[in-house]
Amino acid sequence: MNWIVHQLWLIPALPFLAAGVLALTPRRQRAFAARLAISALAVSLALSCAAFVATLGHAGTGTFRERVNFTWFQFGDQALRLGWVLDPLAAVMLVMVSFVGLLIFIYSVGYMAHDANFTRFFCFLALFAGAMLGLVIANSLLLLFVCWELVGLASYLLIGFWFHKPEAAAAAKKAFITTRIGDVALFLGMLWLYSAGGTLLFYDAGEGCLENAALARIAGPSLVGWGTLVGISLLIFGGAIGKSGQLPLHVWLPDAMEGPTPVSALIHAATMVAAGVFLVARVFPLMKPDWPSLAGGIPLAGTPPPDATLAITWVGAITAVFAALIAVAQTDIKRILAYSTVSQLGYMFLGLGVGGVAVGMFHLLTHACFKALLFLGAGSVIHGCHDEQDIRRMGGLRRPMPVTFATYAVGMMALSGVPLLFSGFWSKDEILHAAHGWAGSRIPFYLGLFGALLTAFYMTRQMVYVFFGQRRAASTPPAAASGIRHPASGEPHESPLVMTVPLAILAVSAIVLGFLGTPAWPWLQTYLGADHGGSGGVELAKLLTKETLWLMAISTAVVTAGIGLAWRWYGQRPITDAGTPDPLQMSFPAAFRWLRQKFFVDEFYAATVIRAHAAWARFSDLLDAWLWGGLVLAVHFLTQGLSWASRFFDEYVVNLGFDAACRRLRRDGAFAAGLSDGKLQNYLRGIGTAFACLLVLLLWGGCR
């Protein structure tokens, strides 16, 4: 086994260590903080590259996969094991995360230079990087979940980094809770998988939960078992929905833009949100089990019943279009990119659903580069415009910010999928190609095409607003529609080198990366283990097959249409005043309102889920105060009443009766005492009277 496999744990451990040290570092050690975090991640990047190289050597001899498992703790006489794994999937993610992460770390030195909590910022960034790298190498769903939650924590801390802003504090909370809804699903899926399969290790010498033995054990020879498998997959996919901002849990991602821009780039575009896609790719054998090998010749063998990829495909396709539609009408430079991210993540899920790991992961990798580029470019714009985020108040930035403009243009064309030269074209075409060939339905393919049109449209709109036309900073947009808080002042300026160099590097990768997965040379697909039937060399002929060419033509036409439409609406007559309504708004006011208001999803949730939760909380509280508390009070009053009754009985029946009897006795006693007064005459009178009475009685006739 390669040495790097044994030392793989160092890759996440180094940033974690840096985060731990920085948490205890005094605030004024700014230079030390940046240096420590950057050097830790740089070493991680070097190790990741070493790991990547190690996996390369084995191409062709089956899939390279080495793992190290260890016991975390024991409960009773059982052991809970974790581990890490190095395979192509992990290796490319490692390189991507540490590479993009490192560039963003460097960029942050410039972007956050004036922030008072600079040290804390690098602490959180390092924590995030460690958690994300840990997630990538995890060989156990539990370890993956642990890192998954830590990534969520880092995201919470970073979104709420400017916690004195109420919006940031609210957005951080919203992000954590919305993703936690998905996390609970993932948690339950994990429990189910653990109890059904008996292990959470992915690969464990044939016994791991992604290997056939365990899968067969779960699926069994019956449809019930297959249902279990699909149920587990769907629950795990629920976690991915939350983390990757898919419908219906996408609402947190645009709000997360309240965080500093490098955070948006690192976490909410390039890496963390891709964790959901990575998770599905990691457990893909579970999502799309190999039916014949599981059914194993038992009568059920035949057409496989539906599996979780069906849900993944549809969720991805619908989200891709839904979010792209919203992006069309937004005015905040970062929110447009945020909705674009949601939409692109939808593409990745679509790719996973219809084409498998390689297709989805290819788009993940290219997207990470160009979306990080776009976000950092947006950050550079915001920085240069003195914290202005409203694209209506920008304009004409092409001249004062040439480097930002050039790199942003590369990113924009990569995202829109401008043909041949840009990576987004190749990876998106792979997805469309797979969707076209999908047996289930043709609709996801059309949705994908429509999404591509929208993508080209909103990116061109944004470019025109920001970089073309003339500067509109002085004019104010209509108050009702404005989301701005920082009035811009001063002339825009280009950002310092520490920010533009990462932009340039990312721009180069946004172009180059696409050539790793073209139909002519599907290196990445082969590397990730997809069976393309190719020899591994360059085959130009494959590029020229009828179907490929036809699809490329369609996608080119769609992209051209998108750019053309946007240019016609926005570019030909650039608006001169930030208060001018959007041209689209003038043409389709009703539809535009829905798009601008994000289909009212937030409002819908506020009116239903959030209100229901608040009502339930109030109900529980009232239940306590009145029902349970009331029962206790009732018992209390009952007891008190009984006490009163017994006191009454005691005082008024027993005591008073006793008293009355006593008084009577005393009176009678006094009377009797009066009788026996010791005077002989009185006694004799009594005797005499009695004798006389007796005599009369006898004489009256009593002797008969």
Partner 1 sequence: MNSLPWLTLLTLVPSLGGLIVVSLGERRAAFAPRLGLLFASLTLLLAILLGTQFDRTSGNLQFVERHAWIPTLAVNYHLGVDGLGLLMVELTTLLVPMAMLASARVNRRAPLYFGLMLFLEAGLVGTFTALNFFHWFLFWELSLIPAFFLIKLWGGPESSAAATQFFIYTMVGSVAMLLAFLALFLAVGKFDFLELADLSRSGQLAASLNLEWGGHTVASSRVATLIFLGVLLGLAVKVPLMPFHTWLPATYAEAPTAVTMLLTGAMSKMGVYGFLRILLPIFPAQIRALETPLLTLTVLTILFSAAAAFAQRDLKRMLAYSSINHLGYCLLGVFAVARVAEPSPRLATEQAAALSGVLLQMFNHGLTAATLFCFVGWLERRSGGLRGLNDFGGVRQVAPVFCGLMGIALFSSLGLPGLNGFVGEFLIFKGSFSPATCSTVLSAGGLLLTAIFLLTLMQRVFHGPLNPRWTALPDLTWRERLVVAPAMALMFLIGLYPHALLSFTNATVSQFAKSLRAF
Rounded distance, CA 432 to CA 245, Å?
21
Closest to partner 1 by CB, 628 or 683: 628
The correct pick among 3, 61, 114, 195 for binding partner 1 (CB under 8 A) is 195
Q: What's the closest the beta carbon of residue 181 comes to partner 1, in angstroms?
A: 6
Q: Could you tell me which stretch among 54-62, 107-115, 140-148, 403-411 binds partner 1 (CB under 8 A)?
A: 140-148
- Number of residues near partner 1 (by CB under 8 A): 51
Q: Closer to partner 1 by CB, 152 or 411: give it.
A: 152
Other residues' Cβ atoms within 10 Å of the Cβ of residue 561: 14
**The token pair that represents 411 in the structure block:** 């990113």
The total of other beta-carbon atoms located within 10 Å of residue 209's CB is 27
- Residues 141-180 binding partner 1 (CB under 8 A) are 142, 145-147, 149-150, 153, 160, 163-166, 168-170, 172-173, 176-177, 180
- x/- track of binding to partner 1 for residues 300-329 (CB under 8 A): ------------------------------
Query: CA-CA distance, 268 to 253, in Å (whole number)?
Result: 7
Nearest to 118 by CA among 205, 32, 201: 32
Candidate residues 76, 299, 701, 702; the one interacting with partner 1 per rule CB under 8 A: 76
Q: How far apart are CA 245 and CA 267, in angstroms?
A: 12
CB 585 within 8 A of CB 592: yes
Min CB(118)–partner 1 separation in Å: 14
Q: Where are the beta strands (DSSP E) in 603-675?
A: none
In the complex, the smallest distance separating the C-beta of residue 102 from partner 1, rounded to whole angstroms, is 24
| Nearest distance in Å: CB 148, partner 1 | 8
Name the minimum Å distance from CB 613 to partner 1: 7
* Strand extents, DSSP E, 355-454: none
**Looking at 10, 13, 42, 188, which residue binds partner 1 (CB under 8 A)?**
188
> CB under 8 A: which stretch of 74-82, 286-294, 406-414, 550-558 binds partner 1?
74-82
Nearer to partner 1 (CB atom), residue 187 or residue 408: 187
Decide whether 618 or 647 has the Cβ nearer to partner 1: 618
> Is residue 370 within 8 Å of residue 510, measured between CB atoms?
yes
* Minimum separation from the CB atom of position 165 to partner 1 (A): 8
Q: How many CA atoms lie within 13 A of 33 on its CB side?
A: 27
Nearest distance from residue 323's CB to partner 1, in Å? 24
**Nearest CA among 181, 218, 211 for reference residue 196:** 218
Q: Which helix (H) or strand (E) holds 74?
A: strand 66-75
Strands (E), 291-421: none
Q: Minimum CB separation from partner 1 for residue 626, in Å?
A: 11
Helices 497-512 and 357-384: crossing angle in degrees, nearest 10, is 150
Judged by beta carbon, residue 49 or residue 153, the one nearer partner 1 is 153
Shortest Å distance, C-beta 34 to partner 1: 20
Apex CA 262: angle with CA 283 and CA 162, to 5°? Answer: 110
Contact in structure between 169 and 124 (CB atoms under 8 Å): no
Beta carbon nearer to partner 1, 2 or 117 = 117
In this complex, which beta carbon is closest to partner 1, that of residue 545 or of residue 643? 643
Is residue 556 within 8 A of residue 564, CB to CB? The reply is no
User: According to CB under 8 A, which one of 35, 39, 49, 192 is a site residue for partner 1?
Assistant: 192
- When the beta carbons of 78 and 303 are compared against partner 1, the nearer one is 78
The site string for partner 1 over 604-643 (x = CB under 8 A, - otherwise) reads: ---------xx-xxxxxx-xx--xxx-xx-----------
By CB under 8 A, residue 74 contacts partner 1: yes
Least spacing, CB of residue 150 vs partner 1, in Å:
6
- Residue (176 or 408) nearer to partner 1, CB: 176
Which one of 60, 61, 62, 73 is in contact with partner 1 (CB under 8 A)? 73
Torsion of CA 393, 399, 401, 404, to 10 degrees: 100
Residues numbered 647-666 forming contacts with partner 1, rule: CB under 8 A: none
Please report, as residue ranges, which positions from 536 to 555 form the binding site for partner 1 (by CB under 8 A).
none
The single-letter code of the amino acid at 460 is T
Pick the closer one to partner 1 by CB: 550 or 628: 628
Shortest separation between residue 141's beta carbon and partner 1, angstroms? 12
Comparing CA positions, the residue from 282, 252, 281, 445 lying closest to residue 363 is 281
Residue with tokens 């992915």: 202
Residue 396 makes CB contacts below 8 A (sequence gap 6+) with 467, 468, 469, 470, 471
Q: Which of residues 11-70 bind partner 1 (CB under 8 A)?
A: none
The residues, any chain, with a CB within 8 Å of residue 491's CB and separated by 6 or more, are 400
Nearest distance, CB of residue 403 and partner 1, angstroms: 36
Measure the CA–CA gap between 475 and 473, rounded to whole angstroms.
Answer: 6
Which of 32, 72, 291, 523: binder of partner 1 (CB under 8 A)? 72
* CA nearest neighbour of 85 among 21, 15, 2, 155: 2
- Give the residue with the Cβ less far from partner 1, 183 or 211: 183
Cβ 201 to partner 1 shortest distance, Å: 15
Which range of residues in 189-197, 395-403, 554-562, 653-661 is near partner 1 by CB under 8 A?
189-197
Nearest alpha-carbon partner for 227 in 141, 144, 300, 313 = 300
Residue 406: which of 505, 264, 510, 504 has the closest Cα? 504
Window 217-236: residues binding partner 1 (CB under 8 A): none
Closest CA to 111 of 391, 400, 370, 376: 376
Min dist. Cβ of residue 106 to partner 1 (A): 26
Q: Shortest approach of partner 1 to residue 318 CB, angstroms? A: 25
- How many CB atoms sit inside 10 A of residue 10's CB? 14
CA distances from 560 to 407, 551, 557, 614 (A): 20, 14, 5, 49
Name which of 604 and 616 has its Cβ closer to partner 1: 616
DSSP sequence for 108-152: HHHHTTT-TTHHHHHHHHHHHHHHHHHHHHBSBHHHHHHHHHHHH
Question: In what helix (H) or strand (E) does residue 84 lie, and over which residues does it extend?
Answer: strand 78-86
**Which of 188, 498 has the CB closer to partner 1?**
188
Smallest distance from partner 1 to CB 163, Å: 4
Smallest distance from partner 1 to CB 346, Å: 25
Calpha distance 410→467 (Å, rounded): 13
Between 193 and 528, whose beta carbon lies closer to partner 1? 193
What string of DSSP letters covers 262-277?
HHHHIIIIISTTHHHH
Q: Measure the CA–CA gap between 105 and 86, rounded to whole angstroms.
A: 25
Residues found near partner 1 in the complex (CB under 8 A): 72-78, 142, 145-147, 149-150, 153, 160, 163-166, 168-170, 172-173, 176-177, 180-181, 184, 187-188, 191-192, 194-195, 198, 613-614, 616-621, 623-624, 627-629, 631-632
